[in-house]
Structure 1
């Protein structure tokens, strides 16, 4: 049996996936969690073979949860096919990335393939990621832009990142230019659409 942990904050979807996977003779859902910060403790407790993660969850997003599980077989199941998400997932060691509208058969196939050590990537998501190119933002630019997206002022960003206000302005200006945006708001939107924030 392939032991599976499901992490999704939408109870109805999580329950439906668990039920459908439970119909497969070689798959068993051993645990379900609704928050990203519950994933690592559940992995330690239940020792699943494969973890299936949603991206958007309270407590911690699925990508951050994946980054904290090195060596664990993981699949991202998400309605967000943003190229940056796929690249970040692969960098975290995730071996499967499929859309939430995939069939139960496709998910079961992905679980089996990932459990066997392979990869399973949705072809459309993979093509989008390749066409989008690499994230042009440095870690500092991304950090400043992420804080700006939360509504932080230049002064607050400077304090949080231990930088001067002038340096923060430079990082934000650089991010705006790299993203081909006209201001901070359009830069934030562009970075979020690509999954770079």
Structure 2
């Protein structure tokens, strides 16, 4: 049996997935969690063969969870097919990335393939990621934009990043320019739409 951990903050979706996967003769959902920050402990307690993660979860997003579980067989199941998400997932060692509107049989196939050491990437998501290219943002620009997205002021961002306010303004201005945005709010939205934040 392939032991699976399911992590999704939407209870109804998580229950439905567990029920559908339970119909597969070789798959058993051994644990379900609704928060990203519960996954690492659940992995340690239950030793699943494959972890199925949603990206948008409270406590810790699915991509950060994947980064915290190096070597773990992971399938990302998401309604957010943003190119930057796929790139970040692959960089974290995720071997499966499929949309939430995939069939139960496709998810089961992805789980089997990932458990066996293979990759299972949705072709449309992979094509979109290839066409979108790499993020033009440096790590510092992305960091400043992420903090700005939480509502922090330039002064608060400078404290958080241990930089001067002028340097933070430069990073934000550079990010806005690189994204072709008219202001910080638009730059944040554009970067989120691409999965770069």
SS of equivalent residue, structure 2 residue 146: helix
Alignment root-mean-square deviation, CA: 0.5
Measure the CA separation in 1 of the matches of 2:62 and 2:51: 10
Measure the CA separation in 2 of the matches of 1:34 and 1:189: 26
- How much has 1:182 moved relative to structure 2? 1.2
SS of equivalent residue, structure 2 residue 13: helix
Match of 2:101 in 1: 101
Measure the CA separation in 2 of the matches of 1:25 and 1:145: 46
Measure the CA separation in 1 of the matches of 2:152 and 2:87: 27
How many residues are matched? 197
Which segments of structure 1 move beyond 4 Å, counting only runs of 4 or more? none
**Structure 1, residues 104-126: CA drift from partner, whole Å, max 9, x if none?**
00000000000110000001100
Mapping 1:1-197, distance limit 5 Å: 1-197=1-197
Measure the CA separation in 2 of the matches of 1:105 and 1:82: 23
SS of equivalent residue, structure 2 residue 55: coil
**Structure 1, residues 122-160: CA drift from partner, whole Å, max 9, x if none?**
011001100110011111100100111111111111011
Measure the CA separation in 1 of the matches of 2:132 and 2:81: 12
SS of equivalent residue, structure 1 residue 60: coil
SS of equivalent residue, structure 1 residue 97: strand
Measure the CA separation in 2 of the matches of 1:129 and 1:115: 24
Measure the CA separation in 2 of the matches of 1:123 and 1:131: 12
SS of equivalent residue, structure 1 residue 59: coil
- How much has 1:14 moved relative to structure 2? 0.3
SS of equivalent residue, structure 2 residue 81: coil
Measure the CA separation in 1 of the matches of 2:186 and 2:158: 21
Unmatched runs of 5 consecutive residues or more in structure 1: none
SS of equivalent residue, structure 2 residue 85: helix
Measure the CA separation in 1 of the matches of 2:8 and 2:131: 28
SS of equivalent residue, structure 2 residue 24: coil
**Structure 1, residues 18-44: CA drift from partner, whole Å, max 9, x if none?**
000000000000000000000000000
